[in-house]
Structure 1
């Protein structure tokens, strides 16, 4: 009667969920902290909300009773205390366990008991507070750098009209350093603009002359 049917018990798996906060970060450090697993769910671009995090949704759908979800730290799983509690609860309801490597904490079906909830709330609140401090320090660092004239931000580009003005000033003998300061850019930006415009102008007026020899 049971011939040909797979009645073997479910083989529990250990999976990893990793997430970056910006596109210039990589996942290798998190994977190294988590260690060997059966499957990895990678969130390569940080999402602003739960709906943006497709890898997390896939991970929650995938896990089953007895599985373990390893995460490098609480702030990699959730961006707020509310999200943290909701995600852990969703995974626990499927019979799986969440293990946070940095905090050395594990939450599963018993996460609903008083002590489990207390620890989750305390550590989650601390992680959220830590993120707020980091954002404040970054903002303060930018303010200080701006006040000192050292914050570059996004590289400024000169408009064609500004480049024409720069050429006229330089032609009258005004030093390029002074011209750059007047336009609010550094010398490298001015030089690039002058070189680019010069090539474009030459190409439009005499394509043969502009072509590389």
Structure 2
């Protein structure tokens, strides 16, 4: 059951709750135009917030998604008001679909999951996003392999250089203890031992 304050008004023809989501990035921007467009589009319940789209924690977006019930339709003036990237859009659209609700954009009529064509477009987008992700993974892997062949080392920067390790080993071979040598290089004794063992390996 929805709270009474969040109920909104059902569309008399479709019986669906038309929900709007509006967002601007900064406090000095105005939500009036988006609210007006969403009301003209039939939205009787509007969730709005002033927050940058790059943030994951968008309270009103989360509240709207939790509010959804089967048959509802989420409307935005533009998709970039709802999502910060293609992947983000697809994730949000998936959550809306999982609730049995639809999504539509006033500026991008092709993004209307209440129609078969709109659902097909987002399905194609999902495939493209997954393809791009696999390309990035493959390029990253190929780049790492090529870099390793060139002698590039990955991981944290060693605490001691090869020259410092050689000097540390020489000092210890001459009788100095590790607890005496380690402070000379501003490292802990255990760090010195690990570096020496790794160098031997």
TM (normalized to structure 2)? 0.49
TM (normalized to structure 1)? 0.46
